[in-house]
Amino acid sequence: MVASRAIGILRRFSNASRTLRCPGYICRNFTRSSALLSRTHINYGLKGDVAVVRINSPNSKVNTLNKELQAEFIEVMNEIWANDQVRSAVLISAKPGCFVAGADINMIASCKTPEEVRELSQEGQRMFEKLEKSTKPIVAAISGSCLGGGLEVSIPSAFDMMLTGRNIRADRAKRMGLVDQLVEPLGPGIKPPEERTVEYLEEVAVTFAKGLADKKISLKRNKGLMETFYLPGLTSFAMSIPFVREQVYKRVEEQVRKQTKGLYPAPLRIIDVVKTGLEQGKEAGYLAESQKFGELAMTKESKALIGLYHGQVVCKKNKFGTPQKEVKHLSVLGAGLMGAGIAQVSVDKGIKTTLKDATLGGLSRGQQQVFKGLNDKVKKKALTSFERDFIFSNLTGQLDYQGFEKSDMVIEAVFEDLNLKHKVLKEVEAVIPEHCIFASNTSALPINEIAAVSKRPEKVIGMHYFSPVDKMQLLEIITTEKTSKDTSASAVAVGLRQGKVIIVVKDGPGFYTTRCLAPMMSEVLRILQEGVGPKKLDSLTTSFGFPVGAATLVDEVGVDVAKHVSEDLGKAFGERFGGGSPELLKQMVSKGFLGRKSGKGFYVYQEGVKSKNLNSDMDSVLAGLQMPPKAEVSSDEDIQYRLVTRFVNEAALCLQEGILATPAEGDIGAVFGLGFPPCLGGPFRFVDLFGAQKVVDRLRKYEAAYGKQFTPCQLLIDHANSPNKKFYQ
């Protein structure tokens, strides 16, 4: 059991690192029962000799494992075990679409010491052990999300069922052996479908529970989780040989280290716990588990990830309220990578989308991109081919402005050229209706400059998407002083429908994200010019926690784009954005080294070739622009901090100048849009956890070597001067 439970946690970790949705540390936690007079979370009734236990947290969309719920649960289960009339039990949620979403994050966050968390964990273990050893069969009837502790409530149960899941689809869970039976959601009938589905699930579960108690149904679970999920092909026999086990631990550990770069402590602890459990027996395993869990909950990484979770929740809300008119028809100008990406995330949410391009070739490429994005989902069985076709029918491709009078919103994603944007804006305003919003997808051009030629600047807004649009969760919305509140509300509403996490920032050169990235990129160039190779630089940045290496990032963004941005922002901010020579990017562009899109940048990109090779033609370019490194600030660690502190300093400046409204949005923007290390929680969380004084000290050190570019901003200095000042209280 230890093994399978820990695997459950491992899985959750991988979700966390990929989607950053749920912190990887959340585990089960149950506390001592506090005597409650009436039950608010759980009630139960008898259906013949089957006890049906219904979980229903009051005033909440989801059920979370908190102290009260757990206390009531223990109480109810004890009654059930003591009651001779009950021969089996069914656990079910009264909320359609959610069984148990996991532990209450706030409960863990409120713990002050590792011991407190350990206590929570051990209480939980005792409870789960009791469930596991129950003499009466327990069936968990799960509808909807079942995460973390929720899953563990159900795993030890004698018999589980699952309906629709989110992260693991229900049918996959069945194949993995997590679940015994599937119940398909029902359509309209004598009652609303969700209601009747839960009722039906309960009916089926009760029949099963009866069958189990009467020994009419036997459980066949011949495959353990280990074999089916994590270590394919390994039989339990092989696992019984100590040597094989050693090899397995080693392999898993290597893999985890490779994936996490040692930056996330949880997965390694989990392996330890599994090892302890298998080698020294259950008791030792449980003990190790609760201890490690207690330690982990207190780490900086845990705080950073929990902070990101809360930030994300905030950025999934529309603070401008409901817009007057829902956007039903969206038009996207420019079928390039961005335009087609925006179209893709819109059509699959049922928004009628028109994709317009200037050329047939460009349009076809864009349409193919949308189709491919959908078709990849068919290959992964996330969509049926019919659903793909149906979604794709929401997309219309065209070369003219026909039908634009029906548009509720136009998003332009044409080339980053102010004159072109002006031309497009004027053309569009001639054909769109009064209420239609004009949004510009630009990464650096100030929105008020674009809006300057508009007849109705209150309807103009910036919507900065990140590439690839279907994968990157962030949307940066930019409002000018003239943008109306309803326009903002509408843009946020569209973004939320597209599944985005949204930050809303004030207008200015580079807004927030691009502005933070630019000085860091400038530093990247300087470091390269100082003779650090792209590969070395990449490994330095990824080992600091960035998902993509700095040199690779330039290639991915596109050298021409980087050049454009650095020139624009260089003009706006002057010397402070200096560092590397602009000549480097200029020469690369003139040689056609535009990064991945042209096949060559710092690296060479070939279709079908996975390993990246350096572009040898870059050697001469870099040699010609070489700068002497300064020994006192060129250690590996210094290089990492030169990059990060410039980033953090610029972010703080954005908050100081009011570009950013809150530090939380700054952190979300940096992590979700720019790949700022999630384990650090974002620039502002980083300052809080690392210490403002230390950040300022670093900046001063580099300022001494390079000057103004590293001068700490006033806000950081204020924080350094008064240690009680935190971005997050």
Partner 1 sequence: MTSILTYTFKTLPSTSQWAFRFSIRPLSCSSQLQAAPAAQPKSKKTLAKPNLRNIVVVDGVRIPFLLSGTSYKDLMPHDLARAALSGLLQRTSVPKEVVDYIIFGTVIQEVKTSNVAREAALGAGFSDKTPAHTVTMACISSNQAMTTGVGLIASGQSDVVVAGGVELMSDIPIRHSRKMRKMMLDLNKAKTLGQRLSLISKFRLNFLAPELPAVAEFSTNETMGHSADRLAAAFAVSRLEQDEYALRSHSLAKKAQDEGLLSDVVPFKVPGRDTVTKDNGIRPSSLEQMGKLKPAFVKPYGTVTAANSSFLTDGASAMLIMAEEKALAMGYKPKAYLRDFVYVSQDPKDQLLLGPTYATPKVLEKAGLTMNDIDAFEFHEAFSGQILANFKAMDSDWFAQNYMGRKAKVGAPPLEKFNNWGGSLSLGHPFGATGCRLVMAAAHRLRKEGGQFGLVAACAAGGQVRHGSFWKVIVLGWGEETGSSKNV
* 234 near partner 1, judged by CB under 8 A: no
Q: Which of 191, 250, 317, 455 binds partner 1 (CB under 8 A)?
A: 191
* Residue 595: both structure tokens together: 């990064």
* 186 near partner 1, judged by CB under 8 A: yes
Q: 2 vs 206, which CB is nearer to partner 1?
A: 206
Q: Which of 58, 187, 233, 628 binds partner 1 (CB under 8 A)?
A: 187
* 94 near partner 1, judged by CB under 8 A: no
Residue type, 13: F
C-alpha span between 617 and 534 (Å, rounded):
13
* Sign (positive or negative) of CA dihedral 189, 194, 200, 204: positive
The answer to whether 641 and 699 are in contact (CB under 8 A) is no
Work out the number of other CB atoms within 10 angstroms of the CB of residue 143: 26
**Burial class for 221, CB neighbours closer than 10 Å (0-12, 13-18, 19+):** exposed
Q: Please tell me whether residue 477 adopts helix, strand or coil conformation.
A: strand
Asked if 476 is an active-site residue, the reply is yes
* 384 near partner 1, judged by CB under 8 A: yes
* 193 near partner 1, judged by CB under 8 A: yes
Q: 189 vs 242, which CB is nearer to partner 1?
A: 189
* 287 near partner 1, judged by CB under 8 A: no
Q: Which of 189, 350, 361, 592 binds partner 1 (CB under 8 A)?
A: 189
Task: Tell me how far, at minimum, the Cβ of 369 lies from partner 1, in Å.
Answer: 25
Q: Which of 83, 207, 484, 581 binds partner 1 (CB under 8 A)?
A: 207
Residues whose CB falls within 8 Å of the CB of residue 394, separated by 6 or more in sequence, listed in order: 346, 347, 350, 351, 352, 353
* 208 near partner 1, judged by CB under 8 A: yes
Residues 117-156 that bind partner 1 (CB under 8 A): none
Distance of CA 438 to the CA centre of its chain: 28
CA-based Rg of the chain, rounded to a whole angstrom? 28
Q: Which of 43, 171, 176, 200 binds partner 1 (CB under 8 A)?
A: 200
Work out the number of other CB atoms within 10 angstroms of the CB of residue 631: 9
* 66 near partner 1, judged by CB under 8 A: no
Distance of CA 445 to the CA centre of its chain: 27
Q: Which of 1, 62, 176, 204 binds partner 1 (CB under 8 A)?
A: 204
H or E segment to which residue 77 belongs: helix 67-82
Q: 186 vs 263, which CB is nearer to partner 1?
A: 186
Q: Please tell me whether residue 701 adopts helix, strand or coil conformation.
A: helix
Select from 40-48, 196-204, 289-297, 622-630 the region that touches partner 1 (CB under 8 A): 196-204
Q: Please tell me whether residue 581 adopts helix, strand or coil conformation.
A: coil
Q: 58 vs 188, which CB is nearer to partner 1?
A: 188
* 232 near partner 1, judged by CB under 8 A: no
* 184 near partner 1, judged by CB under 8 A: yes
The answer to whether 12 and 19 are in contact (CB under 8 A) is no
How many residues sit close enough to partner 1 to count as binding (CB under 8 A)?
A: 18
* 164 near partner 1, judged by CB under 8 A: no
* 378 near partner 1, judged by CB under 8 A: no
* 216 near partner 1, judged by CB under 8 A: no
Marked catalytic residue, from 476, 523, 650, 665: 476
Q: 183 vs 338, which CB is nearer to partner 1?
A: 183
C-alpha span between 595 and 607 (Å, rounded):
14
Residue 439: strand pairing partners = 411, 461
* 386 near partner 1, judged by CB under 8 A: yes
C-alpha span between 244 and 235 (Å, rounded):
11
Task: Tell me how far, at minimum, the Cβ of 92 lies from partner 1, in Å.
Answer: 15
How many helices (DSSP H) and strands (DSSP E) are in the chain?
Answer: 30, 18
Q: Where are the alpha helices (DSSP H) in 432-512?
A: 447-451, 485-497
Q: Which of 35, 37, 190, 631 binds partner 1 (CB under 8 A)?
A: 190
Q: 185 vs 677, which CB is nearer to partner 1?
A: 185
* 625 near partner 1, judged by CB under 8 A: no
Rounded to 5 degrees, φ, ψ at 182 are: -110, 140
C-alpha span between 523 and 528 (Å, rounded):
9
Select from 199-207, 518-526, 575-583, 591-599 the region that touches partner 1 (CB under 8 A): 199-207
Compute, in degrees rounded to 10, the torsion defined by CA atoms 427, 431, 436, 442.
-20
Q: 200 vs 605, which CB is nearer to partner 1?
A: 200
**Burial class for 183, CB neighbours closer than 10 Å (0-12, 13-18, 19+):** buried
C-alpha span between 371 and 202 (Å, rounded):
40
* 321 near partner 1, judged by CB under 8 A: no
* 247 near partner 1, judged by CB under 8 A: no
* 380 near partner 1, judged by CB under 8 A: no
* 181 near partner 1, judged by CB under 8 A: yes
Q: 32 vs 191, which CB is nearer to partner 1?
A: 191
Q: Which of 58, 188, 232, 233 binds partner 1 (CB under 8 A)?
A: 188
Residues that bind partner 1 (CB under 8 A): 181, 183-184, 186-193, 196, 200, 204, 207-208, 384, 386
Kindly list the catalytic residues: 476
